[in-house]
Amino acid sequence: MQVAGHFSLGSRPALQPRTGPATAQNLPAGPTRAPATAAARRQGRRRLAVSAAAPTYSRDFSDKPRLIQHKNEAKAFYAFLSQVYDYIVNPGHWTTDMREDALQPAQLDSPDLKVVDVGGGTGFCTQGIVKAGVSPTNITLIDQSPQQLDKARGKADLQGVTILEGDAEDLPFPTDSFDRYVSAGSIEYWPEPQRGICEAYRVLKPGGLACMIGPVHPTYPVSRAMADLWMLFPTEEEYLQWFKAAGFEDVQLKRIGPSWYRGVRRHGLIMGCSVTARKPAGGPSQSPLQLGPKAEVSAAANTNPLFFLLRVLLGTIGGFWYFILPIYMWLKNLVWPRSGPLADKF
């Protein structure tokens, strides 16, 4: 297991939310701009409408989600992937050693802890929570994919776990419900990641811990293009900003990855980091960051069957790259000298 270290939110200021349309009073002074075309004006109005509805941080996720970064497309994608998820995704991207390493900062050290596993899919991460010592009867697993949940229900060690179908950005739980919030391999499909993290804050009890495990953005050009075609690969700084903006304290990031990658991160990782953060004991019950209504309107945006199918197929092409990549890295690890890091080139 390659662990490169921990990071916390440093002195660099967090990016500010875009809370509404720009006005003449708050625009910075600058050179006179050429008149905008009609198309540009329409595009500008659309961006401002998105900004007013759902503030975002850093890259504009709600305006231009990746092809499988929609709830409808992700649900269709997993209707098929669920059949092979535990045999393809876990061995290549999310091993049991990685799972234990990623969950360690969550302090799952008591059978009495109330834990929710959001986007828990087939229950692989939930099995890690049980293995860490939490009683299955105190665990709730929620995911939007009925096919994934069917796989979880069939696992013997998850008997007693409450398994629900639901939305990570709109959790069906009262405020201050859980001691621990865990989510692994789910944020990459959220149209508004900041909204999902604000929900994590809401459902945690004061002093509770959130643990978010997810991908990291690649820097190698081909891998970056494939990642951006497929789904959301946040940068490490974006994770830290989202948690801090939601109101969390003690935000920490731990790097994880398959052992045979030997620390290589330029291609991105589907499971590349574990972020933990604490809900303040004396803070508000709900996140101080109020986002307003959801920006995504799935029913209106994805009704054309051909367009929907094209999105899923193109997004799957990007995903197939990340099926090939771990095999390549595994083979490279076998032949490259073990005395040093893998080559900097592809």
Give residue-wise pLDDT tens across range 38-86.
Answer: 444 333 333 333 333 334 444 545 456 688 887 888 888 888 777 777 8
Q: Which of 258, 328, 326, 330 is nearest to 88 (CA)?
A: 326
pLDDT at residue 327, as a whole number: 93
| Residue 126, pLDDT above cutoff 70 | yes
- Is residue 89 over pLDDT 80? no
**Domain region containing 233:** 54-335
In which order are the strands placed within the sheet that holds 269-278? 6-8, 249-255, 269-278, 204-216, 178-184, 115-118, 139-143, 162-165
Q: Mind listing the pLDDT tens digit for each residue in 256-300?
A: 999 999 999 999 999 999 999 999 999 999 999 989 888 765 444
- Residue 111's CATH number: 3.40.50.150
Give the mean model confidence (pLDDT) for residues 157-183.
Answer: 97
Distance CA 122, CA 125 (A): 8
- First vs last Cα of the chain: how many Å apart? 21
Share of the chain above pLDDT 90, in %: 60
Instruction: Assess if residue 182 is contained within a domain.
Output: yes
Residue at 217 is within a domain:
yes
Residue 293 confidence (pLDDT): 86
Residue 13 has pLDDT above 50, yes or no: no
User: For the segment 212-266, what is each residue's pLDDT rounded down to a tens digit?
Assistant: 999 999 999 999 999 999 999 999 999 999 999 999 999 999 999 999 999 999 9
pLDDT at residue number 41: 37
Residue 11 lies in a domain: no
Is position 204 within any domain? yes
CB-based contacts of 215: which residues, under 8 Å, 6+ apart?
185, 187, 188, 227, 231, 232, 233, 234, 268, 269, 270, 271, 272
Alpha carbons within 13 A on the beta-carbon side of 237: 9
Q: Inform me whether the pLDDT recorded for 97 exceeds 90.
A: yes
pLDDT for position 302:
55
Instruction: State the pLDDT at residue 46.
Output: 34
Does the pLDDT of residue 147 top 70, yes or no?
Answer: yes
Q: 1 in a domain, yes or no? A: no
Please check whether residue 42 lies inside any domain of the structure: no
Count structural domains, the chain.
Answer: 1
Position 64 scores a pLDDT of 62
pLDDT of residue 297: 56
Interatomic CA distance for residues 29 and 322, integer angstroms: 45
**Is the confidence at residue 193, as pLDDT, over 70?**
yes
The predicted structure's pLDDT at residue 20: 34
User: Distance (Å, rounded) from C-alpha 179 to C-alpha 204?
Assistant: 6
Q: Which of 253, 220, 219, 221 is nearest to 237 (CA)?
A: 253
pLDDT of residue 334: 93
3-state secondary structure of 165: strand
Residue 75 neighbours by CB distance under 10 Å: 18
Q: Check residue 167 and report its DSSP letter.
A: B
pLDDT for residue 202: 98
- Domain-embedded: residue 159: yes
